[in-house]
Amino acid sequence: MAIDQAKLEAFVGKFVGDLGAVMHAATVVVGDQLGLYKSLADGPATAEQLAKRTGTDPRYLREWLAAQAASGYVEYDPKTRAFSLTEEQAFALAIEGSPAFLPGAFQIAVAQFKAIPKIAQALRTGQGLGWHEHDAALFHGTERFFRPGYAANLVSQWLPALQGVEAKLNSGARVADVGCGHGASTIIMAQAYPKSEFIGFDYHEPSIAHAREVAKKAGLGDRVRFEVASAKTYPGSDYDLVTVFDCLHDMGDPVGASAHVRQSLKEDGTWMIVEPFANDQLEENLNPVGRVFYSASTFICTPASRSQEVGLCLGAQAGEARLRSVVRDGGFSRFRRAAQTPFNLIFEARA
């Protein structure tokens, strides 16, 4: 074996960075749960001062704060021994509603680690692992990770990019949000368009129960409701708009789901499909965003598809060409990319 020492050292350097990131993820989850970032956002503090603010142990906080500073997640002043957050760090770590809020993503990572024994078995056998079989951290983390992007873009950019949809929503439309999870997307739309009716569907009963509680607290009334149903069985046949957010690729039979969406829409209705950003060729996705989505797809998306009746397994990096094929095989004749962000592709499908 001929080893190039420079290449080996470069790879080991990459490993050190990756291992630090992996181990750092758990500290972010703990800091988020205990409100440590939010407290630091109120002003600089030593470990002792932060401990008093948050009711935590100062000795543990010294280690936690040192880990955050070494990772670039907080700032440290050696003269005062105080730690602080820059405005940008606070925006991403302490402000739940910000479009750059990050802690939810680390909850997803923690859930993946809890699934290692099951995924190792799945890789041997080819069996699936349903969404409902994961740790609850996945459900909460997914909502908190995706909700900021929806809040920042859904009403301001994505819906206006669809032909004639915003006018219908403003005057009063009937909307089905399929695969709604905890209902973040449904509620964002309902709050923006008070004349429209929204129904969120998801096969995962605990997520629907959570969505109902959130909607109740938001005071949205009877025009917003949530029901347990799959993408191929949800009721209704007169929707002006059907939406699916970051879940079409998880479905075992996305073509069957596409066909069901087609028959549930009014003749002039619209299907909005939001999917993770991906190019069509593997080599075009070998980048930091692709790394995140391929990793998630290995543990979450592909096993979810495999656990279902057909298991087409589009994966989180399906790309526009494969999605177009799925949509057209379901009976739609028009399909276009309406918008995009660094993390999402937004498509419009019509009869």
Alpha-carbon distance 297 to 164, whole Å?
A: 34
What confidence score (pLDDT) does residue 310 get? 82
What confidence score (pLDDT) does residue 293 get? 97
Name the nearest CA neighbour of 345 among 275, 242, 243, 245.
Answer: 275
Segment 84-110, tens digit of pLDDT: 999 999 999 999 989 999 999 999 999
Do 160 and 192 touch, CB atoms closer than 8 A? no
pLDDT under 50: residue ranges of the chain: none
What confidence score (pLDDT) does residue 97 get? 82
What CATH class does 105-350 carry? alpha beta
The segment(s) of the chain belonging to CATH 1.10.10.10 are: 5-95
Q: What is the helix (H) or strand (E) element at residue 328, kind and residue range?
A: helix 320-329
Given phi > 0 = left and psi -120 to 50 = alpha, else beta, which region is 132?
Answer: alpha
Angstrom CA distances, 136 to 107, 132, 141, 247, stand at: 10, 8, 9, 17
What confidence score (pLDDT) does residue 89 get? 98
Q: What are phi and psi of 195, to 5 degrees?
A: -90, -5
Do 1 and 55 touch, CB atoms closer than 8 A? no
CATH number attached to the domain at 5-95: 1.10.10.10
Segment 162-217, tens digit of pLDDT: 999 999 999 999 999 999 999 999 999 999 999 999 999 999 999 999 999 999 99
The segment(s) of the chain belonging to CATH 3.40.50.150 are: 105-350
Q: What are phi and psi of 196, to 5 degrees?
A: -100, 160
Name the DSSP class of 45: B
The pTM assigned to this predicted structure is 0.94
Do 129 and 307 touch, CB atoms closer than 8 A? yes
What confidence score (pLDDT) does residue 111 get? 95
- Can you give the C-alpha Rg of the chain in angstroms? 22
What confidence score (pLDDT) does residue 166 get? 98
What confidence score (pLDDT) does residue 255 get? 97
What confidence score (pLDDT) does residue 1 get? 84
Do 254 and 349 touch, CB atoms closer than 8 A? no
